[in-house]
Structure 1
Amino acid sequence: MPESTSSDSFQPKPLIVSGAATYPGLDDWRSLPIAQQPSWAATDEYHAATAELSSLPPLVFAGEVDVLRERLAAAARGEAFLLQGGDCAETFDGATADKISARVRTILQMAVVLTYGASLPVIKMGRMAGQFAKPRSSNDETRDGVTLPAYRGDMVNGYDFSPESRRHDPSRLVRAYHTSASTLNLIRAFTQGGFADLRLVHHWNQGFMANPAHSRYESTAREIDRAVKFMEACGADFEALKRVEFFASHEALLLDYERALTRIDSRTGLPYDTSGHFLWIGERTRDLDSAHVDFLSRVRNPIGVKLGPTSTADDALALIDKLDPQREPGRLTFITRMGAGNIREKLPSLVEKVTDSGAQVLWVTDPMHGNTVTSPNGYKTRNFDDVIDEVRGFFEVHNSLGTFPGGLHVEMTGDDVAECLGGADPIDQDAFLEGYESVCDPRLNHMQSLEMAFLVAGALSKS
């Protein structure tokens, strides 16, 4: 979480916490088309869950959200780089201290490498403490002639294939809140209590280099080692470097949850969605006249929008007009997810026309979602080489246009799973039989994530 001891520290003032947190237009989304929602509306359980959420304390503070907006504005100007990573879909059972610390640790390790490569501050953001719901291509799933509701994430229903598990249960909204609160509590402790010490994080990366498969990155690792030793020799204030800012983000998919956690800031009288610092709208829910776009246009959080290969420049410009009418740097991030085969063809016209419009958005690449395939043995997977190729294409396009490639959005874990094929120490499909753990989309494992960081650092050093 953002530091309270640095020169740009802040003291967030209390929010007015009210179940009737009203603001003009804040509920207009309820009369608009809405996609990817559970079937629990108007039940007694639903009303009880949303009423309870409306009375609970905010998960994040308005002041923290404002700091993130400033950081993202710097990235939009080419003065910082965003690293956003975490699980495709968090689970309640996975919210353990070990798994949370492993994800945070991996993001911190990646950030050290990227900071060196970019010679810029890296904004560290987790897909954490709220990423409990996922859009699905079908409402139902059929196995052996039995059809049940599709798994939509732990905030909606369970993964086990049974009628009880797959029922859309609104009490899970409250459980998601409490799981997010405990996750944020651990993240604050890790990032403010010495776990993030630069020297410790660098030592972890030396463990990565111990694998001969990663010898190609030895020169970069050696340069980072010299830089850290130089800082120590110069008497750098490592007390300050023991703490880092760390922000939480998720897809704002379930608007009942997001609306219930929206509070009116007592300083400004403006609405903030206090479920997370940064919220994004997915490829399936970004229709201009949809409920998701309308609701998020009315909260003060920085907002992201996923743009796939069918996105047009007109789509992007209309989204800017709706979500960022004041053209406020740091307000809007476009997260492109084109696929390795499309990125070099589809992205240039979007970037050119948005840039020509005068809008200062932050451009981030999501190289995961456009590169999903099925392995010969039936697992949903991604090829590491395809993922990296989309990143390279993203940098090539921005470098050719003179714009800034401002961030990386990646589905990853701190665990040694086997879900994505390839890497320097390659994962093959046979490893899926024992190491595939994701309940939704395949993630890069710990080593693949660090390898990506070294490769992206090389691209950043040339930008």
Structure 2
Amino acid sequence: MSIDATPDVLAGLDAWRDLPAAQQPEWPDHGALDQAVSTLASYPPLVFAGECDNLRRQLGEAARGEAFVLQGGDCAETFADATADNIRDRIKTVLQMAAVLTYGASTPVVKVGRMAGQYAKPRSSTTETRGDVTLPAFRGDMVNGFPFTHEARQPDPDRLVRAYNASSATLNLVRAFTQGGFADLRRVHDWNRGFVANHANMRYERLAADIDKAMKFMLACGADFDAMRTTEFFAAHEALLLDYERPMTRIDSRTGLPYDVSGHFVWVGERTRDLGGAHVDFVSRIRNPIGVKLGPTVDPSEVLRLIDRLDPEREDGRLTFITRMGAGQVREALPPIVEKVTAAGATVLWICDPMHGNTFESSTGYKTRRFDDVVDEVRGFFEVHKQLGTVPGGIHVELTGSDVTECLGGSGAIDDLDLEKRYETLCDPRLNHQQSLELAFLVAEMLQER
């Protein structure tokens, strides 16, 4: 990959600087910011253009109903949690969910981690007040620290470089796990080790035994297992901080086209998808497959304008719409959008984010979600696409491999009083390992009826 490019291409990549950019931190030291940006621009890519092209091809298959996308990971990664054990358990959870979906619904699964870059979060307010003290809001480890102190909450550009290093370490471990034999389908039982015994894990063990039998039969028939020893695992995050994404954008030496090499797939959030804004302009100019979050209030005509802006050539796998409607609105809000897009002849990938539209504050004061609401939004997403004859192409879930108590319900029956036991997220509540597996079994059933 080369950093050489024509002046026109480079000028285009910086056009966002003259546009309104929402959700950007107010860096107090611009000299330190320039140094951090320069450092990032000199670092090697985290991913490669050819990998991004491969993911775009697979997302195109999912848009046509030939595969299903499983996108999962932390709400907001932290530097402290970028440990081998945490990364391994998240990968194991996604691998288990993918095995359930693949075997239960006879569907290839495209595995995309919400990791190795998800260190920044949009916020509804620029400040946080506790008592008579007001400080900058916590915007994720890429920007500032979580402790409610003046020192911790000051935006620090050096954190951009720390985010790169943490992402690099995460991707190194992800590649080691997924390419070094850990993801071999003959180790489906191993992925369950280390997790607390529960209903979901016992059900998974029964499925793993069925997979064992099927593979022994295939082996007896002379099947070649080389393709099952490794798996592809792609990295994705919200392209929120443009001071990180721009220096991580390079020109591919094969094609002369720009790729954001901070991740294979990046998306624009609900708060930053302004057609005239900096984020939409930036992602319109990179060759990665890209996504846009759509909430229940989006105007279908605006969605068509987003397609024209972001996917003018109508390339399979180029554009993904990640819908986040809420369980109570998905069946009414989603159909007019899908109908408008279908009538326009556009083929996009539809993915359901059943997390962000279902958040509320519990009676005990914790930000949480109900597992039943998560399931119901996914079910409504499938129902809408079935009624309209379109393809429900994937799910986008905030999850962890740990046994946290952040979302209510599930077979573990987590209630309000349980939340305080292991409420560990610094931002949004995540499904724990058991709830994630439960969701996979339910989605596999929905896929069978797709």
* TM > 0.5 fold call: yes
Tell me the distance in 1 between the aligned counterparts of 2:246 and 2:302. Answer: 25
Offset, 1:217 = 7.7
- Is 1:121 the counterpart of 2:108? The answer is yes
Offset, 1:78 = 1.0
Give 1:151's aligned residue.
138
Question: How do 1:220-259 residues align onto structure 2 when only pairs under 5 Å count?
Answer: 223-259=210-246
Contact 1:135-1:152 at 8 Å conserved across structures: yes
**TM-score relative to the length of structure 2:** 0.95
Tell me the distance in 1 between the aligned counterparts of 2:179 and 2:338. Answer: 37
Contact 1:105-1:201 at 8 Å conserved across structures: no
Give 2:367's aligned residue.
380
- Is 1:418 the counterpart of 2:405? The answer is yes
Q: Which amino acid aligns with 1:16?
A: I
Contact 1:270-1:300 at 8 Å conserved across structures: yes
Tell me the distance in 1 between the aligned counterparts of 2:105 and 2:112. Answer: 17
The count of residues paired between Structure 1 and Structure 2 equals 449
Q: Which of residues 400, 407, 427 in structure 2 aligns to 1:440?
A: 427
Distance 1:152 1:36, change over 3 A: same
Distance 1:212 1:16, change over 3 A: closer
Tell me the distance in 1 between the aligned counterparts of 2:197 and 2:145. Answer: 40
Distance 1:409 1:17, change over 3 A: farther
Give 1:9's aligned residue.
none
Contact 1:309-1:342 at 8 Å conserved across structures: yes
Tell me the distance in 1 between the aligned counterparts of 2:138 and 2:120. Answer: 9
Give 1:160's aligned residue.
147
Offset, 1:25 = 1.3
Question: How do 1:129-140 residues align onto structure 2 when only pairs under 5 Å count?
Answer: 129-140=116-127
Corresponding residue SS for 2:76: coil
Deviation sequence 1:213-265 (CA, Å, 0-9, x none)? 77778886665454344334334333431200000000000011100110011
Contact 2:200-2:438 at 8 Å conserved across structures: no
Question: How do 1:27-426 residues align onto structure 2 when only pairs under 5 Å count?
Answer: 27-40=14-27, 43-204=30-191, 211-212=198-199, 223-426=210-413
Offset, 1:212 = 4.4
Tell me the distance in 2 between the aligned counterparts of 1:42 and 1:17. Answer: 29
Corresponding residue SS for 2:164: helix
Deviation sequence 1:310-357 (CA, Å, 0-9, x none)? 012111101000000000110000000000000000111111110111
Tell me the distance in 1 between the aligned counterparts of 2:73 and 2:53. Answer: 22
Corresponding residue SS for 2:12: coil
Kindly report the root-mean-square deviation, in angstroms, between the aligned alpha carbons of the 2 structures.
2.0
Deviation sequence 1:9-64 (CA, Å, 0-9, x none)? xxxxx33379x995341111001111000001771101110011111111111111
The farther-off stretch of 116-125 and 153-162 is: 116-125
Tell me the distance in 1 between the aligned counterparts of 2:107 and 2:117. Answer: 28
- Is 1:456 the counterpart of 2:443? The answer is yes
Contact 1:206-1:221 at 8 Å conserved across structures: no
The farther-off stretch of 42-51 and 394-403 is: 42-51
Deviation sequence 1:52-100 (CA, Å, 0-9, x none)? 1111111111111111111111111111110000000000011000000
Corresponding residue SS for 2:188: helix
Q: Which amino acid aligns with 1:121?
A: P
Distance 1:266 1:433, change over 3 A: same
Distance 1:291 1:209, change over 3 A: same
Contact 1:15-1:61 at 8 Å conserved across structures: no
Structure 2 alignment gaps of length 5 or more:
none
Contact 1:21-1:262 at 8 Å conserved across structures: no
Contact 1:88-1:443 at 8 Å conserved across structures: yes
**TM-score relative to the length of structure 1:** 0.93
Contact 2:189-2:205 at 8 Å conserved across structures: no
- Is 1:16 the counterpart of 2:7? The answer is no
Structure 1 alignment gaps of length 5 or more:
1-13
Q: Which amino acid aligns with 1:87?
A: D
Distance 1:91 1:216, change over 3 A: closer
Corresponding residue SS for 1:403: coil
Tell me the distance in 2 between the aligned counterparts of 1:162 and 1:141. Answer: 11
Offset, 1:145 = 1.5
